[in-house]
Amino acid sequence: MALNLLMLGPPGAGKGTQAERFAVARGIPRVSTGDILREAVHANTEIGLRAKAVMDRGELVGDDVMIGIVRERLEKQDALGGFVLDGFPRTVAQASALDGIMSSRDPLIVVDIVVPEAELVRRLGTRLICEECGTGAPVAVASASCAKCGGRLVQRADDNQAVVLERLKVYHRQSEPLVEYYRVRPTFRSIDGAQAPDRVAADLASAIEAAGNGHGARG
C-alpha cells in the first residue's frame, strides 16, 4: 500500500522541514507546490512572474494553476508509490479536486501541524532563504550562506511583518476550513508543532502510523 501523506498547517508551522525529513526517511518524493512555484519564479516564466506578484502581496495563487501543477506532478512515476504533499491543497476547492486525483489511489493520510499565532509570527520574521536556489535556512542558522549551494541568505520578500500578518489572515480565512473538511476522516490527525523538531517528527510518525491503521486515539 502506497503512503500518501498530506501535511496541513499555517505558514511557519514547519511543514516543509518535516515533510522533507519524512520523505527522505521513507524514500518517497516530497511534492512541494512552493518549490515548484519558486522554480518558476526563479526561471522568470510567465506563470512564475504572475505567481511572484501574488505571493509578494501575501495572497494565494489561483486554484486552476495549482490544481494543474499538482495533477501533473502526482502522475509522475516516482509519486505512484507514495508521496508527501506540502502546500496543497490550500482551499476546499483544491481539496475537492485532489479527491478526484486520488480517486483510484490508496487513501490520503492528513496531518495538521498546530502552532500558536504568536510563535508563527516570530518564526516567519526571522527565517532566511537562499537567493540563488530558494532553499530555506533553519531559524537558528548562524551562517550567511546557503548550506546547499553557497548562495547568500536573505529574508523572503513575503516575510516582513505586515505581509506575515496578511498571510496568516489569508490562511485563517481560506485554508483553515480544510481542517474541518478533513477532520471527519479516519485518516486525519493533528499534532503540536510548537515543540522541538525531533519531537514533532516523532509525533508525526506516530500519527501517520495510527491513521494508516485506521484506529487508535485521534490527535
Q: Model confidence over 92-102: pLDDT tens digits?
A: 999 999 999 99
Cell of 67: 490544481
Question: Catalytic: which of 15, 21, 52, 123?
Answer: 15
Question: Catalytic: which of 38, 52, 127, 189?
Answer: 127
Pair type for strands 82-86 and 3-8 = parallel
Active site residue 183: no
Question: Catalytic: which of 38, 90, 123, 189?
Answer: 90
Active site residue 173: no
pTM above 0.85? no
| Model confidence band, residue 159 (pLDDT cutoffs 50, 70, 90) | low
Q: Is the pLDDT of residue 113 over 90?
A: yes
Active site residue 185: no
Question: Catalytic: which of 38, 52, 123, 156?
Answer: 156
Question: Catalytic: which of 30, 123, 167, 189?
Answer: 167
Active site residue 169: no
Q: Is the peptide bond before 11 cis (omega within 30 degrees of 0)?
A: no
Listed residue (149, 146, 138) closest to 12, CA to CA:
138
Q: For 61-89, how does the pLDDT look when each residue is reduced to its tens digit (9 = 90+)?
A: 788 778 877 888 888 899 999 999 998 89
Cell of 70: 499538482
Active site residue 15: yes
Q: Is the pLDDT of residue 171 over 60?
A: yes
Task: Say what the pLDDT of residue 7 is.
Answer: 94
Contact 5, 111 (CB under 8 A): yes
Mean pLDDT of the chain: 85
Q: What percent of the chain has pLDDT over 70?
A: 91
Angle, alpha carbons 61-136-188 (nearest 5°): 60
- At the top level of CATH, which class does the domain 3-115+165-213 belong to? alpha beta
